[in-house]
Structure 1
Amino acid sequence: MNNPDYRREITEAIQAGQEALRCLNDAKSCLSSAGNWGIVDMLGGGMLTTYIKRSKMKDADALVQQARISLKRFQRELMDVDTIPEFHLETGDFLTFADYFFDGIVADWLVQSKINEAKNQVDNAIQRVNYLLSQLRHL
């Protein structure tokens, strides 16, 4: 269709999708870093390693929240998209406490599983946004 309004809407949706993808990739990178520190922590990294891992998790959480905002904008631009998945990097207060004060393999493993779960959710969102962008580019 050569309708200028239609083309503008497609362009706006592509731009919103590209921004969401950038935010998701930033979050993925930060989650990977947190995961790497988590592995070091499970191998006996100590309090400093736990602190660095937690700092990376906090940064990743902020990036995931930013990605969610971008995804909601993308969703608004795509009136025909049903839902955008929700992702959370919430390990809960007990896991934070356990990670620092029990600093054992069980607490570290629980936190690591939450990091991996968040990475999987971000990967799924990246795949979905890439697919939708591909569809938009062919309109």
Structure 2
Amino acid sequence: MAWDELQQKQMHLQRQLEERDRLYKQVVQYKLQQKQLLKRQSILQAEQQVYENKIAYFNKQTFWQRLANRNGKLDQKVEQKEMRLAQIIIKLQEVQQLLQFTQAQITQVEAKRAQGLNTDELLAEVQQLRTKKRLYVIQYQPAQAEQLAELEDQQANAIRLLYEVEEAIEAGQKAKQLIAMLMQQLDTARGYSAWDLFGGGLFITHLKHSEIDKVKSILPNVHAALQQFQNELLDVDHYEISAVNVDTDGFVKFADYFFDDIFSAWSVNSQLAEAQKNVIQLQDNVDNTLRRLCVKQEEVTAYQVNVKKAQDTLLQTL
């Protein structure tokens, strides 16, 4: 088998191994997310039950008990409990939607992992190929065998890192698109809210809440996209090469962003304005992270080209 054929086969096996490793890490990460979401769901369900019981207790108060409570404190307590219950239900719905998404992702990734050769079979083929390449170099140019092996390792590491950076960029761009959709819906909802402040009437109030519902329907997708972006950033952080610094400490981490509380009650214009402010900050963070990833992409690509030139120069003597 000629050297070029050995090289091509190695690259093919390398890509297969990288894909299996990537899919495995995805399954582990999604299952961890699923565990955290199930815990969150259990807490919210327990809290929901507590507030439902409290509201039921207040509603059972007799006419005379209510009459004795002339200052309206009882009704005020009921209203506060009902508002808190509504917030809990919204959060619970978001968690349940994320659970459905996470389970679907686990099923999809595990189906991909079931296809093709397993890891042990791939590693066995890689070992056989390395033996053939080692024998080839020893036979034709033994003095350069060690140098060539080092260049091959550098090239393989560069290819893997570039792949992870490109995956992160793709995930970040998807998150960016969803955040833009979220911002557009918030703009519309806030416009109706401002109109509502000046006596827009029931129809405007209905439109405002309709837009808020649309925003809430987008939230799980935004959250999932941000989580995927973070997963890809962690993959980038896992691989590094001496010539390129890929430390992601400066990259934004999205795991526990503002979704938990800021979007629970949006009946007034000021709350929508606060939500917009947070989304704008999120947009800036994602944009900054994408810019840094693009710089890393260029650096790794340049490094890869230089390694390839060194390989070609060395191989010309074989």
Equivalent in the alignment of 2:265: 91
Q: What is the rounded CA distance, in whole Å, between the counterparts of 2:252 and 2:173 in structure 1? A: 19
For residues 82 and 119 of structure 1, do their structure 2 counterparts lie closer, same or farther at Cα, with a shift above 3 Å needed? closer
Corresponding residue SS for 1:122: helix
Instruction: Compute the displacement of 1:122 (Å).
Output: 0.8
**Residue pairs, 1:49-64, within 5 angstroms:** 49-64=204-219
Task: Say whether the 8 Å CA contact 2:252–2:289 is kept in structure 1.
Answer: no
What does the per-residue CA deviation read over 1:2-56, in whole Å, with 9 as the maximum and x for residues that have no partner?
6111111001000000000000000000000000000110010011101100010
Task: Say whether the 8 Å CA contact 1:68–1:86 is kept in structure 2.
Answer: no
Instruction: Compute the displacement of 1:86 (Å).
Output: 2.3
Q: What is the rounded CA distance, in whole Å, between the counterparts of 2:177 and 2:253 in structure 1? A: 19
Q: What is the rounded CA distance, in whole Å, between the counterparts of 1:112 and 1:57 in structure 2? A: 11
Structure 2: which 5+ residue stretches go unaligned?
1-153, 235-247, 297-318
Equivalent in the alignment of 1:31: 186
Alignment-mate amino acid for residue 11 of structure 1? E
Task: Say whether the 8 Å CA contact 1:38–1:50 is kept in structure 2.
Answer: yes
Q: What's the TM-score, normalizing by structure 2? A: 0.37
Corresponding residue SS for 1:83: coil
Q: What is the rounded CA distance, in whole Å, between the counterparts of 1:58 and 1:90 in structure 2? A: 11
Alignment-mate amino acid for residue 168 of structure 2? A
**Residue pairs, 1:93-132, within 5 angstroms:** 95=267, 111-132=268-289
Corresponding residue SS for 1:78: helix
Q: What's the TM-score, normalizing by structure 1? A: 0.81
What does the per-residue CA deviation read over 1:63-122, in whole Å, with 9 as the maximum and x for residues that have no partner?
222111100100111114463222242107xx5xxxxxxxxxxxxxxx111111111111
Count of matched residue positions in the alignment of Structure 1 and Structure 2: 122
Task: Say whether the 8 Å CA contact 2:189–2:211 is kept in structure 1.
Answer: yes
Q: Select the structure with the greater relative contact order (CA < 8 A; seq sep ≥ 6).
A: 1
Q: What is the rounded CA distance, in whole Å, between the counterparts of 2:203 and 2:224 in structure 1? A: 32
Write out the 4+ residue segments of structure 1 that deviate beyond 6 Å after TM superposition. none
Alignment-mate amino acid for residue 58 of structure 1? D
Query: Larger Rg: 1 or 2?
Result: 2
Alignment-mate amino acid for residue 253 of structure 2? T
Task: Say whether the 8 Å CA contact 2:183–2:279 is kept in structure 1.
Answer: yes
Alignment-mate amino acid for residue 272 of structure 2? I
Task: Say whether the 8 Å CA contact 1:35–1:112 is kept in structure 2.
Answer: yes
For residues 27 and 82 of structure 1, do their structure 2 counterparts lie closer, same or farther at Cα, with a shift above 3 Å needed? closer
Structure 1: which 5+ residue stretches go unaligned?
96-110
Corresponding residue SS for 2:258: coil
Stretch of structure 1 that moved more, 27-36 or 56-65: 56-65
**Alignment RMSD:** 1.7
Task: Say whether the 8 Å CA contact 1:16–1:70 is kept in structure 2.
Answer: yes
Q: What is the rounded CA distance, in whole Å, between the counterparts of 2:224 and 2:231 in structure 1? A: 11
Q: What is the rounded CA distance, in whole Å, between the counterparts of 1:15 and 1:86 in structure 2? A: 23
Give the % identical residues.
25
